[in-house]
Amino acid sequence: MAAKGLEKIKSPRDMIYFPVAYNVVGLVFVSVLYAVAPEHSVETETLNNVLYLGVLITHWSVLCIMLRRLGVNGLRELVTPKKQLRGFPSLLVFASLHVLFTTYMVLALLAGRIPLWGKVDLPLAVYYIVIHPLTAGFIEELVWRGYFIEKQLAAGQTEWRANIYSAISFAFIHGVIVFDKLIVTFVWGVIAGMYYLRERNLPVLMVTHVIVDVTAFWLTLFRPI
């Protein structure tokens, strides 16, 4: 059982280590780019490609850690809904998270907080609109909503604290420099955590996360506003 496996892991250190790993990997990748090809380090497309490659590698590394700790059956149990799907709460969390992050993206684009992209070829478009959202949606919700929240509950934390701590950790995987994004992703974590604690349904959060990421990357790449 996943919960029994989680009972043995009482330290909150992973909620610190994982965000640190994401930021360190991103810094290392950007540093390598600057050392190897400094003339390309200021190009938005190249910089984003390098950063998101680091994110993708870190995502899958974190999933490997989860597999090693819980095994396939443990992960399957974590993902399997514990309660019957209810339409209204699921639609509410989908709408809330979609409005939250899409509004942030639109405002950031209009304010020039997100730099302009140049032409993006088909393979990169597929990566950003398909591969990255699928990866992030599955792994981030699995780890920060399912694994971390259940891990803290098994260690005796209250639901409120488990949710807040997980949301803080989730916010910091998205970077430590852009303050407004930290706030938005923290709020995301709180809303998603509240839904998970009430409904115990990770697939709804995963699907929501994927769709929101598809929208966000589409707005960033093609700037229809």
> 44-79 vs 132-140: helix axis angle to the nearest 10?
40
- What is the C-alpha separation between 134 and 115, in angstroms, rounded? 24
Alpha helices in the chain (DSSP H): 2-7, 14-36, 44-79, 87-110, 122-126, 132-140, 148-154, 159-172, 179-199, 202-222
The pLDDT assigned to 42 comes to: 67
Q: Quote the percentage of the chain above a pLDDT of 70.
A: 92
- Give per-residue pLDDT as tens, 107-123: 999 988 887 777 778 88
Q: For 143-189, how does the pLDDT look when each residue is reduced to its tens digit (9 = 90+)? A: 999 999 999 998 889 999 999 999 999 999 997 778 899 999 999 99
CA Rg, the chain, in Å? 18
**pTM for this predicted structure:** 0.92
pLDDT (0 to 100) of residue 3: 45
| pLDDT score of 10 more than 90 | no
Instruction: Give the range among 79-88, 141-150, 168-177, 205-214 with minimum mean pLDDT.
Output: 168-177
Every domain of the chain and the residues it spans: 83-222
More confident residue, 3 or 114: 114
Dist. CA 99–CA 138, nearest whole Å: 20
35/21 Cα distance (integer angstroms): 21
- Judged against a pLDDT cut of 70, whether residue 11 lies above it is answered with no
Query: Which residue from 218, 181, 213 is spatially nearest to 23, judged by alpha carbons?
Result: 181
Tokens describing residue 69: 């700790």
pLDDT 10s digits, 24-44: 999 999 899 888 888 766 677
Helix axes 179-199, 202-222, angle to 10 degrees: 150
Q: Please give the pLDDT value at position 119.
A: 74
